[in-house]
Amino acid sequence: MATAYLLPIKTAAALFPLLALVLLLPTAVLLYRRHGVMSPGRTLSLYGFLYYLLTAYCMTIVPLPKQTADMCERFAPVAHPQWIPGNTFSDIWKEAHHKIGLNALVLQNPAVAGTVFNLLLLLPLGVFLRYHFRRSLPATAAIGFAVSLSFELTQWTGVWGLYNCPYRLFDVDDLIVNTSGALIGWLLAGPIARMLPTLEALDGRALAARPVPFGRRLTALAVDLAGCVAVSVFATAVLTAQGGTAPAWPPVAIFVVWFALLPLATGATPGKRLLLLRLVAEDGGPLVPWRLILRALLLAASVMPFLSGLFLATLTLLNEPWRYDLIARGHDSGAQGVTAVLDALSPVELLAVMAGCALTATCARKTLRHPHRLAPHDRVSGIHNATLPHSRAVRAAAQTAAQTAVRDADRAAGRVADRAAGRAAGRVADRAAGRVAPAAVERTADGTPADAPGHPLSTTGPPEARRTAAASR
């Protein structure tokens, strides 16, 4: 059984470098937009997740059977899904040949081995969902079930129509066991997550060291170059179809518009805007056209190998006469093909490519050695990159503002309540004082209260005094 699992692992290892290369630019754009940095820890975690996911899918479909006329007859036992939960226990008892024993029921039972494999298949998914993506236990259960269902549907549909019939069984027990494995992985990831530093902490350290990461600017440049070249190729093709020849001015004009006029109007190129970057002057003033043009020219010189190579390829494919000899020699294999292509280039073209490569390497070295990672075209033009808040920072700021607003509202409500309570207490005290206030007392002609002690009319003196006063009256 170990040999059967070795082929899917080898297949995933062979496919992963190609998948990583294809997804490199989209992954960089996603990470820089969401987190502002492509830290090594987050990148390693994300690519580890992609490699695991690719391996898991290869485990469910590899090895692919050979397409034959009797294929559906050979795989007839797995043509219909198994919908009865708990059928795995019947398979275990069947594989044990109805014998009770540790070897028969567990150690040497292929049904047990398959169940354990299905349990372990999505266990790393639960770990990744908790540590990398910060998902809850219910969300992990739902995602684990969805991933397991995609496995089973891939098998039931014959790899989505690649085969006329399924060659592996759709089993409802696999859904249950796979989902359980994802939940176990989520539970096991708790201690692991507490021992490892959080990815947000790693991002914060990287951003504190480099507020404008070099990789973020390089990704924006790659997006700009890809977009500029695509628009140039399209414009050249349209003009060639209309006029019969490919003029040389459209790529130059598009480059100036892309890297000079658009930043002058919007403050950033399309690539920088996608990566949440903007161009600012060192003195804090507005962007000056001649500085932007100087920066664009220096940038064009630093990326000459890419632009010249792509432009040369465009002219080679669109212009007449076609350079069939260069194209034919380019299909040769190994060192002979490389030698043939170099021989097909003229000495001027070869020197231009070599000079461009040397210039690009020099610019990259000077940029990396600068304390603030400023490129030569940044320093000469006086225009450099500044970052806009990434989505995680925006969410954090919004949450902080909401919490501050709630605290301020609570404090304001507390002050209002205190004032209201004070006023109510004052009114109650006033009413109570009014009820117990003495009535107006009778006063004598000399102004002495008649109720004063010792006065003849007093009712508060000793009884003998009151009787004497009454007799005198």
Q: Which of left, alpha, beta for 170 (phi over 0: left; psi -120 to 50: alpha)?
A: beta
Q: Residue ranges per domain, the chain? A: 2-64+122-205, 212-388
Distance, in Å, from the CA atom of 71 to the CA atom of 76, rounded to the nearest integer, reads 8
Question: Is residue 295 within 8 Å of 381, Cβ to Cβ?
Answer: yes
Mean pLDDT by 10 residues, the chain (473 residues): 74 88 89 88 89 91 86 88 84 75 74 86 93 92 95 91 88 92 94 83 82 89 89 85 75 89 93 93 88 89 67 52 45 47 60 72 84 86 89 80 83 78 75 60 49 48 49 48
Q: Are strands 383-387 and 277-281 parallel, antiparallel or unpaired?
A: antiparallel
What would the DSSP string read from start to end of 259-327? IIIHHHHHSS-HHHHHTTEEEEETTSSPPPHHHHHHHHHHHHHHTHHHHHHHHHHHHHHHSSS--HHHH
Confidence (pLDDT) at 266: 92
Residue with tokens 């890419």: 306
Q: Which of left, alpha, beta for 423 (phi over 0: left; psi -120 to 50: alpha)?
A: alpha
Confidence (pLDDT) at 430: 72
Confidence (pLDDT) at 304: 67
The count of other CB atoms within 10 Å of the CB of residue 106 is 13
Tokens of 160: 């989505």
As a residue count, the chain comes to: 473
Confidence (pLDDT) at 343: 55
Residue with tokens 């380019």: 330
Query: DSSP state, 247?
Result: -
Tokens of 232: 């140039």
One-letter amino acid at 24 equals L
Our measurement of the distance from residue 60's CA atom to the centroid of its chain's CA atoms, rounded to an integer in Å, reads 27
List the one residue out of 126, 118, 249 whose CA is nearest residue 193.
Answer: 126
pTM for this entry:
0.70
One-letter amino acid at 109 equals N
- Write phi, then psi, for 439 (nearest 5 degrees): -70, 165
Confidence (pLDDT) at 22: 87
Residues 6 or more apart whose CB falls under 8 angstroms from that of 443 comprise 449, 450
